[in-house]
Structure 1
């Protein structure tokens, strides 16, 4: 309702102006109007000797009146449109000022994280060191805690690969789930197998964000390696998912379009010769490459401290792995439900119930099957089979 008020006011103003300009006096005397050549006196009505001749409508005056009417209407419409346009422009400017962007600049991020290590894929511009000394600072800077150092190392990896913390946590869970001896090395291999990282490593994009943009704009195609099965993957598929993980033998190329090839050649000319890792292949002329093997731990694109990453994800506030137990000899998971106050029917709990372990304990050491019971009656009967106990 508030937005409609300016337009309503403008329309009313235009109507008033048009009404004032188009009064009958503008067009000359009408049939019911008093003639200007007569003067009413108290005694009698006499004709003035020097009175002007009466105005009679003619073809020229009629055409002039029509022209004036059209000109006045056009002028009013032009004034209303221009005023409405100015009001809209002012409203747009106000909206832009009220909602500024909150994106942190790349220079601020580099100034914060560069002392702990470089992030090569974050920005092509070097760090601008404006002021190294701060004489106005009276108090020394606060010492960085160990928890803050863990967060900085985690943020460095996330900024380098242009992913958020949620994506990085999913990769960490996958790396720890594999059961490798060195989970951090396995995590870095997963990150190095992303298709946007492949474009940055071969010099097809100046930064990881530019590589992500190229994938999102459908400039990259992928051909998966054939498998030993009846299903054969298609020849070349255009992908727009930067998080695509490459498998051994996958081939990547620039889409055979004029715009895509021109963009790829421009980026390669700007970057120049790039040291391609040994596990990757890339032809600068044909714009085609291959993912041959996992990345070696000595050829990772960023230097990281494994201890800080390991402690961050394995500490008391690290990632939480889902603990699942299955019934013995089956793939049916043991549910984690309340089940009327009974404990989970895991093999260990069933064995302890059969042994009668903990029946005489008190307090928190008492087994959950006896909580809230005054006598020796157990909620969990190991010899009972039915709906109460799921064995």
Structure 2
């Protein structure tokens, strides 16, 4: 499976804002964007005026990087969104939020989406009582997501919950941290998604 293997902090610097790709580090003074808030590379500190296409492209790249998906998969989600009734951009974000790795992260069982992805791949999570090791699995309304019984004893999950315990859980999810279990109450509406993404720019880009 293809995946990005470069430095995560370079992605945040390129987009000019925190994408929260490295868990605890993003909340500390070690965060790269706190120290170097300009784009990486020898021309990173030069101010460039973006074209309309450039603005749309940067918005798409930002969304991809927030959720940790590559172009081919992102394009598939866009095509799924087109086929559904409703506002295409909002449906696209809803699909991205419905990914299991994002749900695990939102529930507080991972300090970052990347860590959630790794834990899912290693078989630490069940969906409706069945083990699921595919991070891109799309949850549905009413699905129950929980840490597998044997995995609950792992020290890493205790450490994760210590870090994420104070994190606000979106209202479209219910979480019981004590029993390491959560439920998808409903699929998220646009107002439930707190990421600074202008989805209409992504739709405009793909519509060309």
1:242 counterpart = 2:135: yes
Give the match for residue 215 of structure 1: 120
Residues 199 and 131 of structure 1: CA distance in aligned 2, closer, same or farther (over 3 Å) = closer
Residues 258 and 161 of structure 1: CA distance in aligned 2, closer, same or farther (over 3 Å) = closer
Residues 260 and 171 of structure 1: CA distance in aligned 2, closer, same or farther (over 3 Å) = farther
Q: Partners in 1 of 2:161 and 2:57 — Cα distance?
A: 34
Gap runs ≥5 in structure 1: 1-101, 224-235, 316-391
Residues 258 and 203 of structure 1: CA distance in aligned 2, closer, same or farther (over 3 Å) = closer
Residues 292 and 284 of structure 1: CA distance in aligned 2, closer, same or farther (over 3 Å) = same
Give the match for residue 119 of structure 1: 19
The answer (yes or no) to whether the contact 1:254–1:261 under 8 Å persists in 2 is no
Residues 273 and 173 of structure 1: CA distance in aligned 2, closer, same or farther (over 3 Å) = same
Residues 152 and 283 of structure 1: CA distance in aligned 2, closer, same or farther (over 3 Å) = same
Q: Partners in 2 of 1:130 and 1:118 — Cα distance?
A: 12
Give the match for residue 187 of structure 1: 92
Residues 140 and 189 of structure 1: CA distance in aligned 2, closer, same or farther (over 3 Å) = closer
The answer (yes or no) to whether the contact 2:143–2:183 under 8 Å persists in 1 is yes
Give the match for residue 149 of structure 1: 55
Q: 1:306 Cα shift?
A: 2.6
Give the match for residue 37 of structure 1: none
Q: 1:237 Cα shift?
A: 1.1
Count of paired positions:
194
Q: 1:202 Cα shift?
A: 1.4
TM normalised by structure 1 equals: 0.46
SS at match of 2:35: coil
Measured on the aligned residues, the alpha-carbon RMSD in Å equals 2.3
Name the structure, 1 or 2, with higher relative contact order (CA <8 Å, separation 6+).
Answer: 2
SS at match of 1:221: strand
The answer (yes or no) to whether the contact 1:251–1:291 under 8 Å persists in 2 is yes
Q: Partners in 2 of 1:109 and 1:197 — Cα distance?
A: 18
SS at match of 1:289: strand
Alignment of 1:38-117 (within 5 A): 103-114=5-16, 117=17
- Larger radius of gyration between Structure 1 and Structure 2: 1
SS at match of 1:290: strand
Residues 254 and 103 of structure 1: CA distance in aligned 2, closer, same or farther (over 3 Å) = closer
